[in-house]
Structure 1
Amino acid sequence: GPLSGLPIKAPFSDYVPLPEGPVLDANKTYRIGFVYHWGFHPWLISLADTAVYEANLHSNVEIEVLDAEGDDNKMGQMIDDFIAKQMDAIVMWPAREAPMGPPVDRAEAAGIPVVSLDRRTSSTNISSEVLGNFYANGLQQGLYLNHVSGGKGNIIMNRKPLGSTADSMRSGAFMEAIGDLDYVIQESMHTNSSRKAAFEATQDALQAHDDVEVIFNTGGEEALGALDAVLEANRLNSAPGGKKIIILVNDDSKETVNEVRKGTMDVVVPYTPLLGGIGVRVALLHIGAKEGLNDSPPKQVVTPNLPMITKEKMTIAGITTITPDEWPYAYGPEAE
């Protein structure tokens, strides 16, 4: 990746494809503003990597990348700066929905198409959204748990930020999948995509409960922090009856996939960050539509559901899982 220096293998290159080389009017230079949060986070730097990679494939496209560092107000100001610079399009990763509605509306009112990646904003005026299936992520975790647990167990939850699409849809789908069965939610914690926060929250939960059987995680960094807490407390095999604590994971980093390979984590439900290239291509097509060069791209571009990753192949609710060695699209640093 051009920002991280890490190797990337991006899926979905056939989604809204554009040929390499100059795009739209080859005599013009097109400027795209890209704004996101937390460039230190493996998932998010991979998202930005693929956006910059795609822009670099087109000699007449320039991209400016800004990191709002988790501050919604700062992201709004950065979008306003892009408006003042008269960028041709804006591509964004919003942490939370509601605060980003007004900045998107201002950009759209100024005639600048905005494309969101992964999470949604509260704006109904946004030009396009590039989405994975959060609902499927939570549902798959619930289906896996029901398959291996017999429909009962004590659960602690490490969740995304309150008010984010990822939290409401993943956690909601998981609860829907397990809701009629004999589970107990012992703790439900918003650990905000932070390995450190998830470590501390899981550490506290393990101290408060000696019978934890399941740890649900809405992201890979949360899962890695939770696993660190479990291992430090020597609690991996501390579920009632000496059974292993079941660790459920979203996000297919090389680290989480390797933990499934090792048997410390039980299932990874992939949610690839390698969506940035799609966002840039969609933004370019919106620019082209304004210039009368092509049709408008879809309002929503939804990537397909991805298979669960388990140590050994399984069939769960009619769905066949894949093994870690069968998944080529894991992101981030190599696992140790």
Structure 2
Amino acid sequence: MIRMTKLSLACSTALVAMGGAAAAQTITIGITQNNVGVDSYQTTYEQAFIAAAEANPDVEVVVLDAGGDVARQIAQIQDLIQQEVDAMIIWPTNGQAVIPAVREAYQAGIPVIITNSNIAEDGFDFVRSFSGPDNITQGARAAEIMCERFTDMGIQDEAQIVQITGQPGYTTAIERAEGFEQRLPEVCPNVTLMESQPGNWNREDAQRVMEAFLVQYDDIDGVYSGDDNMGVGALNAALAAGRAEDITFVGATNFAVGYDAMERGEYWGSIYQSPVDDAQAALQTALDILAGEDVPFLNYFDTPKITQENMGEFDRPVF
């Protein structure tokens, strides 16, 4: 049974019940997501989460979307506390700002699972488990992909690159940049990261950032983007400027548009991450915790490297 609420700009907290009252033994799990409308990954995640819940007759979920608004998400967390849900899943809009509300859920005795993008470390005491990708590892693997490509090209001692990060303050964006920036000098110490700018997980924003980079820098050998949605935005800018052939594009979270660009030979590599696996893992983590099972605090699923060379081993992403 699913209860979905998309809060309006007026921040209404009314819930719409779908399918009637829950059975006496039904487990109720509330989820508040970051921003379903921002990209196809989050849209697919929501669809997969609902499908997984519908497949379990003992589960009712209350599905909320914060629309990228921290204040709205805090209100949603407080609303789920008032509803006395059995467990709460939070996809944070901001890893630091949501901590006081997460603490309220903890104090109310509601186990909290953070999904996809972790909260800041000072909130860990109020969380039962994080379910999602290891974003620092993703960034590190992207750096390895970039370095391996430069080494094959023979430019590992002179290459210059730029970086397009995700939404400022968003843990995933911070961690993917951190992993990349830490790993790159370990594997390719002579590659120069010239500048980083946020693309806000948005293809058009990333395209504008890349347009500015192309004006500012005559020599760009590589672009690392925090996800393929932004990476393809950067690619589009380079294609329009006639400079794409000279640039190696590497991203994370392999979107369908990134996969297709790799197939065309325009985009070199990324990190393969499934929103379906992400959603199913979050729901299962909540159910395991409620069943009293021993669940690791950092409950990661694997996200392997994908490049033009091995992409035949992976299905085209569904988002």
Shared fold (TM-score, shorter chain, > 0.5): yes
CA distance in 2, matches of 1:212, 1:200: 16
In structure 2, what is the equivalent of residue 174 of structure 1?
180
Moved over 4 A (4+): none
* Paired AA for residue 131 in structure 2: V
CA distance in 2, matches of 1:44, 1:183: 33
* Mapping 1:297-336, distance limit 5 Å: 297-304=295-302, 306-312=303-309, 322-323=310-311, 325-328=312-315, 330-332=317-319
* Paired AA for residue 258 in structure 1: D
In structure 2, what is the equivalent of residue 240 of structure 1?
none
In structure 2, what is the equivalent of residue 268 of structure 1?
270
List runs of 5+ in structure 2 lacking aligned partners.
Answer: 3-22
CA distance in 1, matches of 2:164, 2:130: 26
TM superposition shift of 1:245: 0.4
On the 8 A contact 1:95/1:164 being kept in 2, the answer is: yes
In structure 1, what is the equivalent of residue 133 of structure 2?
132
Distance 1:83 1:27, change over 3 A: closer
Q: Deviations over 1:266-298 (max 9, x none)?
A: 012113222111111221232333xxxxx3433
* SS state at 1:216 partner: strand
* Mapping 1:158-197, distance limit 5 Å: 158-179=164-185, 181-197=189-205
74, 95, 99: which is aligned to 1:76?
74
* Paired AA for residue 129 in structure 2: S
* SS state at 2:195 partner: strand
* Paired AA for residue 289 in structure 2: H
CA distance in 1, matches of 2:169, 2:253: 19
* SS state at 1:265 partner: coil
* Mapping 1:106-125, distance limit 5 Å: 106-122=104-120, 123=123, 124-125=125-126
CA distance in 2, matches of 1:285, 1:174: 33
Q: Deviations over 1:21-76 (max 9, x none)?
A: xxxxx851222111112212111112222221111111131112111111111101
TM superposition shift of 1:83: 0.6
List runs of 5+ in structure 1 lacking aligned partners.
Answer: 3-25, 238-243, 290-294, 313-321
Query: What is the total number of aligned residue pairs between the two structures?
Result: 287
Percent of matched pairs sharing the same residue: 21
Distance 1:176 1:296, change over 3 A: closer
* SS state at 1:145 partner: helix
On the 8 A contact 2:259/2:316 being kept in 1, the answer is: no
In structure 1, what is the equivalent of residue 46 of structure 2?
48
* SS state at 1:98 partner: coil
On the 8 A contact 2:160/2:220 being kept in 1, the answer is: yes
CA distance in 2, matches of 1:172, 1:245: 22
On the 8 A contact 1:54/1:281 being kept in 2, the answer is: no
On the 8 A contact 1:260/1:268 being kept in 2, the answer is: no
232, 252, 265: which is aligned to 1:224?
232
On the 8 A contact 1:272/1:329 being kept in 2, the answer is: no
24, 27, 32: which is aligned to 1:30?
27
In structure 2, what is the equivalent of residue 5 of structure 1?
none
In structure 2, what is the equivalent of residue 7 of structure 1?
none
* Paired AA for residue 330 in structure 1: P
In structure 1, what is the equivalent of residue 288 of structure 2?
285
* Paired AA for residue 281 in structure 1: Q
In structure 2, what is the equivalent of residue 99 of structure 1?
97
CA distance in 2, matches of 1:288, 1:48: 23
Q: After superposing the two structures, state which structure 1 stretch, 170-179 or 152-161, moved more.
A: 170-179
* SS state at 2:94 partner: coil
CA distance in 2, matches of 1:256, 1:248: 9
On the 8 A contact 2:112/2:128 being kept in 1, the answer is: yes
In structure 1, what is the equivalent of residue 220 of structure 2?
212
CA distance in 2, matches of 1:257, 1:233: 22
Q: After superposing the two structures, state which structure 1 stretch, 193-202 or 95-104, moved more.
A: 95-104
CA distance in 2, matches of 1:302, 1:80: 27
* Paired AA for residue 280 in structure 2: G
* Paired AA for residue 267 in structure 1: G
CA distance in 1, matches of 2:252, 2:287: 30
* SS state at 1:200 partner: helix
Using structure 1 for the length normalisation, give the TM-score: 0.80
On the 8 A contact 2:118/2:172 being kept in 1, the answer is: no
TM superposition shift of 1:144: 1.8
Using structure 2 for the length normalisation, give the TM-score: 0.84
In structure 2, what is the equivalent of residue 156 of structure 1?
162
TM superposition shift of 1:161: 2.3
* Paired AA for residue 82 in structure 1: L
